[in-house]
Amino acid sequence: MHSGELIGVHTTLPHHEVLRLLCAATGHHSVELQLGVELTPDQVGTFDSLVARRLDNEPLQYLEGTVPFGSIEVAVDSRVLIPRPETEYLFELVVTMVAEPLVIVDLCTGSGNLALALKAQFPDAVVHASDLSPEAVAVARSNADRAGLEINVAHGNLFDPIPPSVKGQVDLLVSNPPYLAEREYADLPPDVRKEPRVALVAGPHGDEVVRGIAGQIGDWMAPGGVYAIEVSEFHAQAVVDAFTDVGGTVVQDLTGRDRYVMGRLPVE
Ligand SMILES: C[S@@+](CC[C@H](N)C(=O)[O-])C[C@H]1O[C@@H](n2cnc3c(N)ncnc32)[C@H](O)[C@@H]1O
């Protein structure tokens, strides 16, 4: 079958999604596909099954299998949250705030996107990442292998699995914790509900995990260390108070929403 014919047939999905799925199914570039390529029956079958899954609300990125993040690419599937542009912006902000961090911690690492992009940026740093979901830990470890980067990914609640030897030594701490309240879950778009619930919902109020970080962060940061945490725009002003001991400030994203709590510890 000819690619042009196939692109024209599928009108139930937006044109750009059809093209992206066709790229994923065939390995061809979208320009080649639009100019016209002869497709094998196997490629057409793979494409048809991807379209069916997309029509069942599976996120496009899970079907494509990878997303770019910073200078790396991470594999994603239904075991992990799909990295968002807001989190990539957090990465872009923090790399301008630290010079040569030696110890980096990423709590709630998911696919390992932040931990790995930071390791790529700061190759001399030792990077520790943790996640409560064993499935996410497996994805982050496999993404580290895929990127050829060495990071330590541990299974557990927030700081619990981070080696106690780095207490007071962390030069850069990042986290994108879950921040939805339980009652918000049912109203999410169907494709977002295909992402792991544990990656989205923090508890009855939504601020439980970020407050868990606030309760311990002071024990882990090095003098002069920088931390940056992605938060809900609806919690930012309320939760920043929990970070006063470590100098918390609310920072806006590119659209002007209160989306991060960040701070730099005093140099002793
Ligand atoms: C919003 S996702 C962020 C994933 C990734 N860091 C990113 O930016 O795309 C939150 C992650 O936190 C994990 N998580 C939820 N509660 C946690 C906890 N108490 N301790 C550690 N990880 C937790 C989830 O399994 C999920 O992978």
Kindly report the average pLDDT of the chain as a whole number.
95
Atom of ligand 1 nearest to the CA of 133: 25
Is residue 150 located within the same domain as residue 254?
yes
**Ligand 1 centroid – CA 39 distance (Å):** 40
Q: How far apart are CA 260 and CA 52, in angstroms?
A: 37
The pLDDT value given to residue 155: 98
Strands (DSSP E) contained in 101-191 are 103-107, 126-131, 152-155, 170-175, 180-181
Q: pLDDT for 189-200, tens place per residue?
A: 999 999 999 999
Sheet holding 103-107, edge to edge: 152-155, 126-131, 103-107, 170-175, 221-230, 258-264, 249-252
Is residue 213 located within the same domain as residue 111?
yes
Q: Is position 165 within any domain?
A: yes
The pLDDT value given to residue 50: 95
CATH number at 214 reads: 3.40.50.150
Q: Identify the CA nearest to 115 among candidates 101, 102, 129.
A: 129
Q: How many CA atoms lie within 13 A of 92 on its CB side?
A: 10
**Ligand 1 centroid – CA 17 distance (Å):** 28
Task: Write out residues with Cβ below 6 Å of ligand 1.
Answer: 80-81, 83, 87, 107-111, 113-114, 130-133, 136, 157-158, 176-178, 198-199, 209
Q: How far is CA 134 from the centre of its chain?
A: 16
Last residue of a domain, one of 56, 80, 99: 56
Give how many domains the chain has, as a whole number: 2
Is residue 139 located within the same domain as residue 174?
yes
Q: Is position 62 within any domain?
A: no
What mean pLDDT comes out for the span 132-159? Answer: 98
Predicted confidence band of residue 10 (pLDDT cuts 50, 70, 90): low
Q: pLDDT for 146-161, tens place per residue?
A: 999 999 999 999 999 9
The pLDDT value given to residue 8: 72
State pTM to two decimals.
0.95
Is the model's pLDDT at 7 over the cut of 90? no
Q: Which residues pair with 105 in a beta bridge?
A: 128, 173
Is residue 87 located within the same domain as residue 205?
yes
What mean pLDDT comes out for the span 204-214? Answer: 97
What mean pLDDT comes out for the span 51-59? Answer: 95
> Residue 115 is inside which H or E element, if any?
helix 113-121
Is residue 128 located within the same domain as residue 254?
yes
The pLDDT value given to residue 259: 98
Q: How far apart are CA 109 and CA 120, in angstroms?
A: 15
Is residue 8 located within the same domain as residue 93?
no
Predicted confidence band of residue 139 (pLDDT cuts 50, 70, 90): very high
Q: Are 103 and 169 in contact (CB under 8 A)?
A: yes
Q: Which residues pair with 130 in a beta bridge?
A: 107, 154
Q: Is position 61 within any domain?
A: no
Is residue 150 located within the same domain as residue 31?
no
Is residue 119 located within the same domain as residue 248?
yes
Domain residues for 38? 3-56
Is residue 193 located within the same domain as residue 98?
yes
Is residue 217 located within the same domain as residue 100?
yes
**Minimal-distance CA residue to ligand 1 atom 7:** 83
Mutation to probe ligand 1, out of 81, 116, 137 (largest number of atoms < 8 A from CB): 81
CB neighbours of residue 45 within 10 Å: 12
Is residue 145 located within the same domain as residue 253?
yes
The pLDDT value given to residue 96: 96
**Minimal-distance CA residue to ligand 1 atom 17:** 132
Is residue 252 located within the same domain as residue 167?
yes
Q: Identify the CA nearest to 109 among candidates 68, 80, 85.
A: 80
- Express as a percent the part of the chain with pLDDT over 70: 99
